[in-house]
Structure 1
Amino acid sequence: MIRESEVTPAPRPSQWLQVDAVLDPAVLAGMRAEWNALLASSNAGIFNSWEWIYPWCRRIAPDRRPMVLTARDRRGTLVGLMPLGFEVRRVLGRLVGRVAFLGETHVGSDYLDVVARRGAEEEVTRAFAQTLRELHGTWDVLDLTDLHEDSLTVKVLREAFPEMEVQVTDRYICPYERFEKGESFEAFLKRTGRRDNYLRRRKWLEKQEGYRIERTELPGALAAPMADFFRLHAARWAGDGGSQGIKGKGVESFHRDATQLLAEQGQLRLYTMKVGGQAVASVYGIVHRDTFIYFQSGYDPEWRNRSVGLVLVGETFKDSIESGLTEYDFLRGTETYKSDWAAKQRRTVALRIHAKQGAGNWFTRHEEAARTVRNVFKRILPSDAVEKIRRLRRRRAAI
């Protein structure tokens, strides 16, 4: 186990970098300003931001001990961090120490990774890899999920642990689209599979009394549109046993916190479609650098046949292009509506490292055995029975 302290010095792996591990949640709480400065000077994704990670620690995993690796230059400036956490899992009576990304579960965090100043990515990542080697013995499994498939971290960590078992597995496909320079929304529509239906449905909606689309960005204006979003998202998935993306009061609390913090940074885009004063569709989006990130959505099932969800997604594309953004990212998931709007794909992977013998190896074998059993049941049970079980699990998770 890592001993309790605010900042634990780790072996120095570089002549110009000082690597430490932040273990105290109170220290993590005070890192917002320098964390944001580092993120702005990096190529890391928004789900590595303090605004996402800190509320996750508070609302989703308050018992998870932070183990945030930090790298500072000779002047003490933060030039890299790796947002990790440490937990002990008891599996069939055996204790397993596991190190993983903060933000890894419940909230759909894609592209988790090291955050490093541009130009210093490799040296920072190698410094963190060496530190994790030095700390081995305090952990059994290094379990990193949802990295970009081309992540430097995957390459460096594979090289850093040649004597251990290293597994890289596929996670999700993330559809996205890039806009051509100077491209208008009308030109973009012509190369999608939704143009005619979108235009026809939008034309009908525009004739309805009280039709409008509201975009909320300010921190003090989020209460009502967030309430509409949660209601519409829950309504959209009610017939399927509940949402997989937002389930449970803890996750809702996380999103209330995260949207407030993102709005303070000018990165939130919450779109609400209203007809006759009633909210009928909602999209929860995030802007990070030149990219609009479609995070979640919802709509009133009574308006399904009017394609309110389709029209509102189209309006977010229109707003993104007119705002000068150059990319639209749907994140994980290969739903048909995404491929109708976006032609490109990127993938995420998971990286797991553990010794070839011991608790980490046992933990992995246990997981593989459980997965095999689940797959057998899926094959032998009727498809409707499998779906009923899934719905029951979703309902229980939402309680």
Structure 2
Amino acid sequence: MIHEAELSPTPSPARWLEVDTVWGLSNLAGLRGAWSDLLDESRAGPFNAWEWLYPWCRRIGADRKPFVLRAKDRSGALVGLLPLGVEHQWVLGMPVRRLAFLGETHVGSDYLDVIARRGREEEVARIFAEALWELRDQWDVLDLTDLREDTVTVRVLRETFEKYRADLRMSTRYVCPYETLSKGESFDDFLKRTSRRDNFLRRKKWLEKQEGYRIEKTEAPGELAGPLTDFFRLHTARWELDGGSQGIRGRGVESFHRDATQLLAERGRLRLYTMKVGGRAVASVYGILHQDKFVYFQSGYDPAWRNRSVGLVLVGETFRDAIEAGLTEYDFLRGTESYKSDWTTQQRRTVSVRVLSPGGGGEWLVRREETMRQVREVAKRVLPQDMVERVRRFRRKLSAVRG
């Protein structure tokens, strides 16, 4: 399908964009170079990277058919991508076609969005929104989750679909704590404006006296096997008493991360930090470098070392490394855990946008989800709190076993 439209609202010379659709995993594989170049020239977040979404399609979203909108200008240059996929869900024996972001489930992909060249975000978002409306006979539900609340894409989607009187619903998703890092500020200066300075310095001083204490940073593609194995072990150990991790669970997700970290490292985007004492890893942080930002993705630590605050010290050292590298932001992504607020003073939110195609089966999917939500709410009110917690832990473990 080719869609062409004139978009310039000003008297300046009109700019034309042509949109087509890239289907299938094999075609997606061939986009790596152009996709990566475009991402580097955009404001889109780290989880819009080909190195993240392609392994997601292979390892997790195998039931999704890639449906990537691609925008080119008159010269044939790529100016925008919208990485979507189609899945089929069965509701009351009827197939419902759900069009959603690639990377949306299982791996915590915040800030999914349109990828557009800087300065052309609104133009590209509008041509994609119009194309989605024209393609409404190919989907029943359009689900775009975990967009940044302040992205122009949210406003453009709302304006476009409201113009066509579509059934559009928006909801808040997550709070994402982050901190701006000032140019020229030292790590010591940064520590002074946090609530963990004294504890960090005291705990670090004790750790530095332990035999074999060191922190290793791994970035090279050929050196990931050991640090990744340590990370998975420590992450699992950290969450085991709570019924298992919600962030990394199951063999499929681990396989995804082994692929994604290799690809990210090839692009110089990966940072794995490992704290060792006496030759054994006791804490780990899995981070992503995106443009001038450090993105804290996940972590883990040995519960036997919890009282020594190994996690606190290692997070502090990742802040030090980010500041010394001249980065301008440290992003903790979704979640308002107290250890994040100890280091940050700012927050942003993510939202979801849902649109139902006229005459499609999307309403049945919405009704089923609402019924399931009501059942869960009733169960929480009726069952004792300890029973609710046991059920929650059982579901986590079952999910991990299923992978």
The bucket for the TM-score relative to the shorter chain is over 0.9
Q: Which residue of 2 aligns with 1:47?
A: 47
CA displacement at 1:314 relative to structure 2: 0.5
> Which residue number corresponds to residue 36 of structure 1?
36
In the alignment, what sits opposite 2:371? 369
In structure 1, distance between residues paired with 2:231 and 2:360: 46
Structure 1 residues 76, 356: CA separation in 2 closer, same or farther (over 3 Å shift)?
closer
Match of 2:133 in 1: 133
| In structure 1, C-alpha distance between the alignment counterparts of 2:360 and 2:180, rounded to whole Å | 46
Q: Which residue of 2 aligns with 1:94?
A: 94
**8 Å CA contact 2:66, 2:102 repeated in 1:** yes
Which of the numbers 334, 337, 344 marks the counterpart of 2:336?
334
Counting aligned pairs with the same residue, the percent is 67
Match of 1:148 in 2: 148
Aligned counterparts of 2:237 and 2:98: Cα–Cα separation in 1: 36
- 1:256-277: per-residue Cα shift (whole Å, max 9, x none)? 0000001001010000000000
Shift of 1:356: 6.2
SS in structure 1 of the partner of residue 281 of structure 2: strand
> In 1, Cα distance between the equivalents of 2:157 and 2:348?
21
1:13–1:131: 8 Å Cα contact kept in structure 2?
A: no
After superposition, the C-alpha distances for 1:94-144 in whole angstroms (9 at most, x for unaligned) are: 211110000000000000000000111111111111110110011110000
Which amino acid letter does the alignment assign opposite residue 326 of structure 2?
G
Deviates more, 1:78-87 or 1:370-379: 370-379
Match of 2:3 in 1: 11
TM-aligned CA deviation for residue 53 of structure 1: 0.5
**For residue 152 of structure 1, what is the amino acid of its counterpart?**
V
SS at match of 1:176: strand
State the SS of the aligned residue for 1:203: helix
**Take 1:136 and 1:79, find their aligned partners in 2: how far apart are those partners?**
23
Does residue 21 (structure 1) correspond to residue 17 (structure 2)? The answer is no
The equivalences for 1:67-216 within 5 A come to 67-162=67-162, 163-216=165-218
Equivalent residue of 1:17, what SS?
Answer: strand
> Aligned partner of 1:140: which letter?
D
Maintained 8 Å contact 1:107/1:245? yes
The number of residue pairs the alignment matches comes to 391
Larger CA deviation: 208-217 vs 181-190? 181-190
8 Å Cα contact 1:217/1:270 also seen in 2: yes
For residues 43 and 281 of structure 1, what CA distance do their matches in structure 2 show?
A: 32
Cα contact 2:283–2:314 (8 A) shared by 1: yes
Structure 2 unpaired stretches of 5+: 7-14
Tell me the residue number matched to 2:280.
Answer: 278
Matching residue's letter, 1:310: L
Q: Give the secondary structure class of the aligned counterpart of 1:97.
A: strand
Distance 1:190 1:317 in 2: 13
C-alpha distance in 2 between matches for 1:325 and 1:298: 24
Q: Which of 340, 345, 348 does residue 346 from structure 1 map onto?
A: 348
1:341 partner SS = coil
Bigger Cα displacement from structure 2, 107-116 vs 358-367: 358-367
Gaps of 5+ in 1: 1-8
How far the C-alpha of 1:10 sits from its partner, in A, is: 2.8
Contact 2:183 2:326 in 1 (8 A): no
- C-alpha contact (below 8 Å) 1:99/1:141 kept by paired residues: yes
Q: Deviations over 1:189-231 (max 9, x none)?
A: 1111111111110000000000000000000000000000000
- SS of the residue 1:161 aligns to: helix
CA contact (8 A) 2:136 2:357 kept: no
Asked whether the equivalents of residues 294 and 330 of structure 1 are also in contact (C-alpha less than 8 Å), the reply is yes
Aligned to 1:6: none
Contact 1:179 1:326 in 2 (8 A): yes
SS in 2 for 1:137: helix
The answer (yes or no) to whether the contact 2:91–2:364 under 8 Å persists in 1 is: no
Distance 2:355 2:63 in 1: 23
Do residues 303 (structure 1) and 296 (structure 2) align? no
Q: Which amino acid aligns with 2:98?
A: R
SS of 1:262's equivalent in the other structure is helix
Aligned to 2:11: none
The normalised TM-score by structure 1 is 0.96
Show the counterpart of 1:4: none
Q: C-alpha separation between the residues in 2 aligned to 1:317 and 1:228?
A: 21
Identify the residue that residue 255 of structure 1 maps to in structure 2. 257
Structure-2 separation of matches of 1:371 and 1:357: 24
Q: Distance in 1 between matches of 2:90 and 2:151?
A: 31
Q: Is the 8 A contact 2:238 2:300 kept in 1?
A: yes
- Counterpart code for 1:224: G
In structure 1, C-alpha distance between the alignment counterparts of 2:102 and 2:155, rounded to whole Å: 20
User: Shift in Å at residue 24 of structure 1?
Assistant: 2.1
Aligned to 1:3: none
SS of structure 1 residue aligned to 2:245: coil
Superposed CA deviations along residues 323-363 of structure 1, whole A, max 9, x for unmatched, are: 11111000000000000001100000000001465411221
Moved more, 13-22 or 254-263: 13-22
